[in-house]
């Protein structure tokens, strides 16, 4: 093995000498300084992607006096800092954009009709979209399609009562649980759907 190569120096505890070729650095841009420029500093807010080349001593001095907001009024500085929160991207007030959906809103910014869109088919099956128009049942309770679908998994109608949901859930769990079928796990997926539907209805206040 050659012991006088830069590769060998990497594994040495104390290399004999640094054999790496050093690139020649430009001179410091500070007036009257001839030291190598090892650091760069921005030229200013209005000169993006332009930099000064300074030595360590003068880059420290330059940074101490650097002011990004030089030449800006107090109002302009406040506006810039506020826009920086959103990355200087435009923003709108909630509800100011929405086309027909915004036009359907009633007083106080609430929609005049009960509806909920499902643009990503989160509640659909196999990517199929379905209408999410809410309906009111005889008891006056508003039932959305996601809730109606969960009731359908349990084999219930939209006007099912709390007691009906709980009792139906218990019956289905006993019917499809592997312990009730001699350890047969073929209906395990069906049991999972039943539990998920019941938990969703429970979180929605149906039971």
Within-domain flag for 97: no
Within-domain flag for 89: no
133 and 67 in a common domain: no
Number of Cβ within a 10 Å radius of residue 172: 21
186 and 126 in a common domain: yes
- HEC string of the chain? CCCCCHHHHCCCCCCCCCCCCCCCCCECCCCCCCCECCEEEECCCCCCCCEEEECHHHHHHHHHHCCCCCCCCHHHHHHHHHHHCCCCCCCCCCCCCCCHHHHCECHHHCECCCECCCCCCCCCCCCCCCCCECEECCCCCEECHHHHHHHHHCCCCCCCCHHHHHHHHHHHHHHHCHHHHCCCCCCHHHHHHHHHHHHHHHHCCCC
Q: pLDDT for 161-188, tens place per residue?
A: 889 999 999 999 888 887 777 777 777 8
Within-domain flag for 161: yes
Within-domain flag for 59: yes
Whole-structure pTM value: 0.35
The percent of residues in the chain predicted with pLDDT above 90, rounded, is: 18
Within-domain flag for 151: yes
Q: Which residue range forms the structural domain that includes residue 52?
A: 24-71
Within-domain flag for 3: no
Question: Can you name the residues that pair with 111 across neighbouring β-strands?
Answer: 105
Q: pLDDT for 58-75, tens place per residue?
A: 999 998 888 888 888 888
pLDDT of residue 188: 82
The candidate with the shortest Cα–Cα distance to 23, out of 44, 37, 43, is: 37
Pair 25, 17: CB distance under 8 Å: no
Q: pLDDT for 101-156, tens place per residue?
A: 544 544 444 444 444 555 555 555 444 444 444 555 555 567 788 888 889 999 98
pLDDT of residue 95: 62
pLDDT of residue 186: 77
The CATH number given to whatever domain includes residue 136 is 1.10.287.110
Within-domain flag for 41: yes
Average pLDDT of the residues of the chain = 75
Q: Domain ends where: 71, 97, 126?
A: 71
pLDDT of residue 119: 55
Alpha-carbon distance 173 to 188, whole Å?
10
Q: Domain ends where: 5, 40, 71?
A: 71
Q: What is the average pLDDT across 75-86?
A: 85
How many domains does the chain fold into?
2
With cut-offs at 50, 70 and 90, classify the pLDDT of residue 12. low
């Amino acid at each position: 093995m050659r012991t006088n190569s830069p590769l060998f120096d990497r594994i040495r505890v104390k290399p004999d000498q640094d054999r790496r070729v050093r690139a020649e650095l430009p001179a410091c841009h500070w007036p009257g300084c001839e030291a190598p420029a090892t650091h760069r500093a921005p030229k200013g807010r209005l000169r993006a992607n332009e930099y000064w080349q300074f030595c360590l001593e003068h880059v420290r001095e330059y940074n101490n006096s650097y002011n990004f907001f030089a030449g800006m009024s107090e109002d302009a500085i406040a506006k810039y800092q506020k826009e920086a929160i959103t990355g200087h991207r435009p923003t709108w007030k909630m509800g100011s954009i929405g086309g027909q959906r915004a036009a359907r809103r009633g007083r106080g910014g609430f929609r005049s009709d009960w509806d909920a869109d499902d643009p990503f088919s989160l509640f659909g099956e196999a990517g199929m979209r379905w209408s999410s128009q809410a309906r009111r049942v005889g008891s006056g309770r508003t039932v959305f399609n996601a809730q109606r679908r969960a009731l359908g998994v349990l084999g219930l109608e939209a006007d099912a009562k709390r007691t009906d949901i709980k009792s139906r859930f218990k019956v289905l769990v006993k019917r499809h649980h592997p312990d009730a079928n001699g350890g047969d796990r073929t209906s395990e997926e069906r049991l999972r759907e039943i539990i998920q539907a019941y938990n969703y209805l429970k979180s929605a206040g149906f039971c």
